[in-house]
């Protein structure tokens, strides 16, 4: 009889639904902590690793129209602008740490994959002090 009253009281207050919720909450909390600890403590190995110390070398086949070299004697560098006829790549810019004309021409020829004679025909110099 006492048990029947107790169940009737729980039912009237709606506690038969609310009483198991803290138990379920604690169960999920401990279960989630255990699962997170297992996942986070696993060793992590990657098959594909990023290699930041390698440089990508790109070979372009361009038709060069004009090469403009601005030599800055005080800084000891040369800024080279290359204009092309390509529709997607109209202008290239390089900076070299040399100021002598022969060294500049060989550096440009090396970068563009041209001969020094072709480079000499297309290059225009501007000297800044």
Nearest-angstrom CA–CA distance, 106 and 115: 8
> HSE-up of 61 (CA within 13 Å, CB side)?
0
Tokens of 29: 């909390």
* Chain segment 31-76, per-residue pLDDT in tens: 999 999 998 888 877 667 666 777 777 666 778 899 999 999 899 9
C-alpha distances in angstroms, 31 versus 24, 27, 34, 37? Answer: 10, 6, 5, 10
Which of 63, 118, 66, 70 has its CA nearest to residue 95? 70
- Residue 29, pLDDT above cutoff 90: yes
* Chain segment 99-122, per-residue pLDDT in tens: 999 999 999 999 888 899 999 999
* pTM of this prediction exceeds 0.85: no
- Beta partners for 95? 79
């Amino acid at each position: 009889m006492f048990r029947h009253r107790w169940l009737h009281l729980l039912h009237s207050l709606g506690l038969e639904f609310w009483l198991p919720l803290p138990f379920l909450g604690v169960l999920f909390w401990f279960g989630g902590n255990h699962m997170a600890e297992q996942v986070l403590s696993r060793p992590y190995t990657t098959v594909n690793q990023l290699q930041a110390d390698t440089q990508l070398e790109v070979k372009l086949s361009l038709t060069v129209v004009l090469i403009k070299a601005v030599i800055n004697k005080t800084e000891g560098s040369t800024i080279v602008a290359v204009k092309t006829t390509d529709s997607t790549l109209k202008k290239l810019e390089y900076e070299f740490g040399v100021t002598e004309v022969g060294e500049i021409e060989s550096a440009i020829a090396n970068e563009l994959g041209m001969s020094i004679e072709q480079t000499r025909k297309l290059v225009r110099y501007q000297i800044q002090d």
